[in-house]
Amino acid sequence: MRKIFVILMALMVVGACNNKTAGPNGAKKFTIAVIPKGTTHEFWKSIHAGSNKAASELSAQGTNVEVIWQGPLREDDREQQIKVVEGFTTQGVNGIVLAPLDDRALVRPVEDAKRAGVPTVIIDSGLQTDSIVSFVATDNRKGGSLAADRLGQLLNGKGKVLLLRYAEGSASTTEREEGFLSEIKAKFPNIELVSTDQYAGATRDTAKRASENLLNRFGDDIQGIFTPNESSTAGMLLALQDINKAGKVSFVGFDTSQVFIDAMRAGQLHGIVVQNPFNMGYLGVRTMVDQLSGKAVEKKIDTGVMLVTKDNLETPEVQNLLHPPLDRYLK
Amino acid sequence: MVAEVKQNRALITSAALHNWLNRLGPVLGLVLVIGIFSLLMKTPERFLSANNLRIVLSQTVIVAIGAIGMTMIIISGGIDLAVGSTIALTGVITALGIHSGLAPSVALASGILVGGLVGLINGLVITRLKVVPFIATLGMLGVARGTAKWVAGEQTVNMADTWLNELLVMFPNPSWLLVAPGVWIAIILAFIAAVVLRNTVFGRRVFALGSNEAAARACGIATDRLKVWIYGLAGLLFGLSGVMQMSRLRQGDPTVAAGSELDIIAAVVIGGGSLNGGEGSILGSMIGALIMAFLRNGCQQIGWPNYIQEIIIGAIIVIAVALDRWRRSRAVS
Asked if residue B257 lies in contact with residue B84, where contact means CB atoms within 8 angstroms, the answer is: yes
Instruction: Report CA-CA distances (Å) from A99 to A70, A71, A142, A253.
Output: 11, 9, 19, 21
A27-138+277-303 and A140-275 have identical folds: yes
Q: Which of A226, A217, A216 is nearest to A188 (CA)?
A: A226
Considering the segment(s) B62-308 as one domain, its CATH architecture is Orthogonal Bundle (1.10)
- Comparing alpha-carbon positions, the chain A residue that sits nearest to B251 is A204
Max Cα–Cα distance, chain B, nearest Å: 75
Q: Are A35 and A98 in contact (CB under 8 A)?
A: yes
- Answer whether A165 touches B (CB < 8 Å): no
CA gap B277, A301 in Å, rounded: 60
Does A78 lie at the interface with B, CB-CB under 8 angstroms?
Answer: no
Whether residue A14 has pLDDT greater than 50: no
Residue A17: the pLDDT is: 44
Does any CB of chain A come closer than 8 Å to the CB of residue B204? no
Q: Residues near B159 by Cβ (< 8 Å), separated by ≥ 6?
A: B95, B96, B98, B99, B250, B251, B252
- Dihedral sign for Cα B112, B117, B118, B122, please: positive
- Cα distance from A173 to chain B (closest Cα, Å)? 17
The DSSP annotation for B254-281 comes to: TTTTTTHHHHHHHHHHHTT--TTSS---
Q: Could you tell me if A197 lies within 8 Å of chain B, comparing CB atoms?
A: yes
Q: A140-275 falls under which CATH superfamily?
A: Response regulator (3.40.50.2300)
CB B204, CB B76: distance < 8 Å: no
**Are the C-beta atoms of residues A286 and A272 closer than 8 Å to each other?**
no
Q: Say if B51 is an interface residue toward chain A (CB within 8 Å).
A: yes
**Dist. CA B200–CA B301, nearest whole Å:** 43
Q: Which of A66-75, A187-196, A267-276 has the lowest mean pLDDT?
A: A66-75
Number of A to B CB contacts under 8 A, please give it. Answer: 82
CB contact under 8 A, A210 and B300: yes
**Nearest-angstrom CA–CA distance, A324 and A277:** 9
Are the CB atoms for A149 and A125 separated by under 8 Å? no
Question: Average pLDDT over chain B, rounded to whole?
Answer: 89
Q: What is the 3-state secondary structure (H, E, C) of B284-304?
A: HHHHHHHHHHHHHHHHHHHCC
Taking a C-beta distance cutoff of 8 angstroms, is the pair B193, B72 a contact?
Answer: yes
What is the distance between the alpha carbons of residues B193 and B221, in angstroms, rounded to a whole number?
20
Please answer whether residues A105 and A117 qualify as being in contact, where contact means their C-beta atoms are separated by less than 8 angstroms: no
Q: Compute the average pLDDT of residues A221-247.
A: 93
* 3 state SS of B174: coil
Contacts with B256 from chain A: Cβ below 8 Å: 203-205
Please state the ipTM of this predicted complex: 0.70
Q: What is the mean pLDDT of chain A?
A: 87
> What are the domain boundaries of chain B?
62-308
pLDDT category, A19, cuts 50, 70, 90?
A: very low
The pLDDT tens digits for A118-169 are 999 999 888 888 999 999 999 999 999 999 999 999 999 999 999 999 988 7
Chain A residues touching residue B49 (CB < 8 angstroms):
216
Q: Which CATH number is associated with domain A27-138+277-303?
A: 3.40.50.2300
Query: What is the domain partition of chain A in residue ranges?
Result: 27-138+277-303, 140-275
